[in-house]
Homo-oligomer: A and B are copies of this chain.
Amino acid sequence: MTTSVAWLAPICALIGMAVAAYLGSWVLKQDPGPEKMNSISVKIQQGAKAFLVSEYKMLAIFVAVVAVVMAVALSPWTALAFITGGVLSACAGYAGMHVATRANTRTAHAAEESVARALNVSFKSGLTMGLCVASFALFGLSLWLILLVFGNINAVDLMHEHVGMVEGFATGASAVALFARVGGGIYTKAADVGADLVGKVEAGIPEDDPRNPATIADNVGDNVGDVAGMGADLFESYTGSIIAPTILAVTFGSLGYFAGVDLVWAVVVPVVIAACGIITSIIGLFAVRTKEGASLHAALNRGTYVAAVLEICAIFAIFFLWNSQSQEGQPLWLFGSVICGLVAGMLIGKTTEFFCSDEYKPVHKIAEASETGAATNIIQGLSTGMLSTIVPILLVAFAIIGAYFFGNMAFPLVDTSEGGIAVGLFGVALAATGMLSNTAITIGVDAYGPVADNAGGIAEMAGLPEEIRDRTDSLDAVGNTTAAIAKGFAIASAGLAAISLFVSYQATMHHAFPDFSLTLTNPLIIAGIFIGAMVPFMFAALTMGAVSQAAHAMVEEVRRQFREIKGIMEYEAEPEYDKCVAISTNAALKKMMLPGLLAVVIPIVIGCFSPEMLGGFLAGAVSTGMLLAIFMSNAGGAWDNSKKYIEKGAHGGKGSDAHKAAVVGDTVGDPFKDTSGPSMNILINLMTIIALTFSPLFIALQVLV
């Protein structure tokens, strides 16, 4: 029976976990270097662990409360699935960070030998994280699917009922991800901005200088933000991209739209694609080998490309198999949908590179504007960020239309536009799955960056020779470029997955109320669009405000230590690192709650009031959420690199007035690209999945009224 293919998913997930365990233990077995280095690493480990434990404690309360609400309002099973989603996400983040905070000193020590060895250590640490994220997510998800959904594959209505568990799992993953991203983002940027403003600008000491009291907090921040936060982020988008087509298929099936289509295949295909992705990622690992002197960039790209080509072949094979067994329709066309998504994701990555890399005009223009001061630097940077939204949004729009077109080609016989929903949208959902199927290796390429960054920090603090620092810097720099493509995929797939979930929401409501429709001339829907479009602005305002205030407190503390602790500057007294760590920890924990809660509560409140309004709300939120995500990430990246471009000698180089102006831009860009911007994808996915999960409640309330 075809559903047995679904068992591939947990099996591949278990393989992924085994490989992750092997890689992780290999990393831990490496030599952490002399005590001077390891003791710094231990400080970072302690700070990161302390933060994560406090964060998880707060999240546990939140998860428990929501689970109780879910158990009462929806079903105990949904509540349980919600808890598993949240717990697995937290475990993946914890495991990844555990290895990363130990890989830093090992990478620094390996760099004393060669860049190739340093790459090996840091990349394996990143891939451990990547495999944990993908395997944990796929394992939990596929078990719920197999136990509850596929178990009822021949009873469509029962299956539709049970799909709520899968939604619960995804809600748990998204909610934890939002808190982890926002909390980690506030932590890391408060420390970073604070450390830079006093250390670099006022005291004139270099980055990661051990005399800077905020330097440990800064390095802890890299781990809790860029490692744990990013892991939770991708856990949720990966989950979202897999469940989107599954839920859509089940919903369409229950509405009778998919009559004639082999529903078993439709619901099984997404997890099978994901399962193949774990295996191809592991194969990709073997391609990332480099010899001393060879291009690091080429090595990493080789890994990504090998995995990608294999995965595309696997996806083609899956559709081909489905096609050969299909009675009606030609599912092979869906391969076209996947290709649309992949092409859009690639090109979005390229535009990110164009707008953020110091090899192109946009960054040069910001650098030039820095000559007339910080104000023109900021204006030019904001303008660049906004301009950079044009092409990605057009690409997403084309991907939607293209994937939909192929979806329609796949099922021409059953394409019914009843209730305004077209079955071709299934293709849009699968495009998102395809883009994120190689998440494991993508994270590997992404998460090794902060490890290398940390290694550099340790090298600096332990007083290793300049040369070592240069080696870790070169590793870090390569990571920034490769990460751009991953970012493109993340943004595009978030948009497509959100749309698919949105359509599932509409289909679910339509299932309950046949005259339910989302027409743009309904005043409630217009009002909903306005409010929804506003929420990402509110979210960005709260998270940026949090960074600004926490950084302010950090600056005051660092200034106080420089003033009151005699001998810091002469290396005679050690600064009180833990006070700065405490400031970041407390600020992050305190300030992450409000934006996170709003994201959960607002859709539920609006949905209880009017399910139509919630439809408009989601459409508005997804569109401005994507815009702000692109705008803020790219503006931040462009500011960062225009500063680096000046540091390379342009417009007067380091220390010039232009450089001072560029530092202001870079600092403004910090919360843009590492706090508010990356939270947007999670925000829109979370709000959409919450609408879907709570739709039974909205239906029940409407029936009551």
Contact = CB atoms under 8 A, between A and B. Distances in A.
Given A397-B530, A425-B521, 13 more contacts: A376-B548, A379-B547, A379-B671, A380-B548, A390-B537, A397-B531, A398-B527, A401-B523, A420-B517, A420-B522, A422-B522, A506-B520, A533-B627
B389 A534 contact: yes
B534 A627 contact: yes
Nearest to A543: B383
Nearest to A201: B373
A386 B517 contact: no
A664 to B, nearest CB: 5
10 closest residue pairs by CB, A with B: A386-B541, A375-B667, A420-B519, A397-B527, A518-B520, A387-B541, A533-B623, A383-B545, A383-B544, A393-B534
A652 to B, nearest CB: 15
A624 B541 contact: no
Given A401-B524, A520-B520, A525-B520, A548 B393 contact: no
A461 to B, nearest CB: 24
Contacts of A302: none
A230 interface: no
A609 to B, nearest CB: 11
A499 interface: yes
B499 A526 contact: yes
Number of copies: 2
A542 B375 contact: no
B378 A664 contact: yes
21 contacts: A197-B376, A372-B552, A375-B667, A378-B664, A382-B668, A384-B545, A386-B540, A390-B538, A393-B531, A397-B528, A397-B531, A398-B527, A400-B526, A400-B527, A400-B530, A401-B523, A420-B521, A507-B521, A529-B619, A530-B623, A623-B623
Given A523-B400, A529-B623, A376 B538 contact: no
Contacts of A517: 420, 519
A10 interface: no
Nearest to A403: B523
B631 A537 contact: yes
Interface string A9-50: 000000000000000000000000000000000000000000
A368 interface: yes
Contact of A623 (B372, B380, B390, B620): B620
Interface in A357-409: 368-369, 371-376, 378-380, 382-387, 389-390, 393-394, 396-398, 400-401, 404
Q: For the complex, would chain A's binding face be called helix, strand, loop or mixed by DSSP majority?
A: helix
A435 interface: no
Nearest to A401: B527
Given A541-B386, A548-B383, A555-B372, A626 B521 contact: no
Q: Which of A376, A379, A527, A627 has the largest number of chain B CB atoms within 10 A?
A: A379
A373 B369 CA distance: 19
A551 interface: yes
A193 interface: yes
A616 interface: yes
Interface of A: 193, 197, 201, 368-369, 371-376, 378-380, 382-387, 389-390, 393-394, 396-398, 400-401, 404, 419-422, 424-425, 428, 495, 499, 502-503, 506-507, 517-531, 533-534, 537-538, 540-542, 544-545, 547-548, 551-552, 555, 615-616, 619-620, 623-624, 626-627, 631, 663-664, 667-668, 671
Contacts of A384: 541, 545
A384 to B, nearest CB: 7
B627 A537 contact: yes
Q: Which of A386, A506, A624, A626 has the largest number of chain B CB atoms within 10 A?
A: A386
Contacts of A626: 530
A553 to B, nearest CB: 10
Nearest to A394: B531
A428 B428 CA distance: 36
Given A541-B387, A626-B530, A506 B523 contact: no
B542 A425 contact: no
A671 to B, nearest CB: 6
A387 B538 contact: yes
A624 to B, nearest CB: 6
A520 B373 contact: no
Q: Which of A507, A525, A619, A667 has the largest number of chain B CB atoms within 10 A?
A: A619
